[in-house]
Amino acid sequence: MTPARAPHAVLWHPAARDDLTQLDAIDLAIGDAALAAIDDVAAHRKHGKALGPRHTSGDLTGFFRVKFDLAGRRPERFRLVYEQPDDHTICVWALGERAEQAVYHEAASRVDD
């Protein structure tokens, strides 16, 4: 029997908490979906797609993205952008809409700060 892996610790970029507040303002269920996506990554149930240099929004090499939305909604409109600096931690950098690459622009601007 393989031992269960401990969940990742979750760290937040300070502005990412504001992102969550903005998602809650759209619909509390979307904020809940964002938290569920973070929990899925932290608990090893999901691993995001690797990002890299993006000509439209900046270099996000070393970062990952996970799609999320309301249950059953397709296509999924929102993204979690995170970093995994080690085997025990994830850092939430941005939560937001994918439309017009908005969440990726925001994440790249935060990395540059």
- Per DSSP, the residues of 47-98 read -PEEP-EETTTEE-TTEEEEEE-STT-SS--EEEEEEEEETTEEEEEEEEE-
Average the pLDDT over 16-27 and give the result: 95
**Predicted confidence band at 95 (pLDDT cuts at 50, 70, 90)?**
very high
Q: How many whole angstroms separate alpha carbon 58 and alpha carbon 77?
A: 20
**Predicted confidence band at 99 (pLDDT cuts at 50, 70, 90)?**
confident
User: Where are the domains positioned within the chain?
Assistant: 9-112
Give the pLDDT confidence of 67-81 residue by residue, as tens digits.
999 988 888 899 999
CATH topology (fold) of 9-112: YaeB-like fold (3.30.2310)
Predicted confidence (pLDDT) at residue 1 exceeds the cutoff of 60: no
pLDDT value at residue 71: 87
